[in-house]
Amino acid sequence: KTDKQVSSILQRRSINLMDPGQMGQVLETVLRDKPGIVLQRLSSLPVKPLRLSSDAETESDEKAESLPSALNAPVYSHGFEVVLLGEYADIYDYLRHLEGLSSSFFWDSLEYKVSSYPDSEVTLRVHTLSAVEGWIGG
């Protein structure tokens, strides 16, 4: 398959994923409806190439060349880290709202610490995928 065909396949399969350039805006916009939460930090993480097949790493060069183009196509992980302060119920509502969005992203980790009851600090790491290496639209 040509690079153009592979890009088309990736675009169709990622139809429900959030555009990397919109992630920060969406994470902040959802906070506007949650007055009990304070955004401590919102930062983008380095863009990382995604390996589509762990087997490709162990294959010899000869075998790697015979892999389908889709496995060799560039796919990049665009990540964000969000640090929030608030009470459990407010944080829970925020996370449920994010989970219910029609455009989605992948959740990497969530760290929840009670700083001083009932206040807590949450560090959330999320990412989406794109065939474009650089940040799109932002």
In this predicted model, what pLDDT tens digit does every residue of 24-79 receive, in sequence order? 787 888 888 788 899 999 898 988 887 765 554 444 444 444 444 445 557 788 88
Q: Is residue 65 included in any domain, yes or no?
A: yes
Query: pTM here?
Result: 0.69
21: pLDDT strictly greater than 80: no
3-state secondary structure at position 43: strand
Q: Is residue 136 included in any domain, yes or no?
A: no
Tokens of 81: 């880290």
Please count the structural domains in the chain: 1
State the Cα–Cα distance between residues 57 and 51, nearest whole angstrom.
Answer: 9
Q: Is residue 135 included in any domain, yes or no?
A: no
Domain that holds residue 84: 3-130
For residue 74, whether the previous peptide bond is cis, meaning omega lies within 30 degrees of 0, is: no
State the Cα–Cα distance between residues 10 and 72, nearest whole angstrom.
Answer: 12
Residue 52 is part of a domain; what is its CATH number?
A: 3.30.70.60
> How is residue 22 annotated by DSSP?
G
Q: Is residue 31 included in any domain, yes or no?
A: yes
Tokens of 35: 């007055």
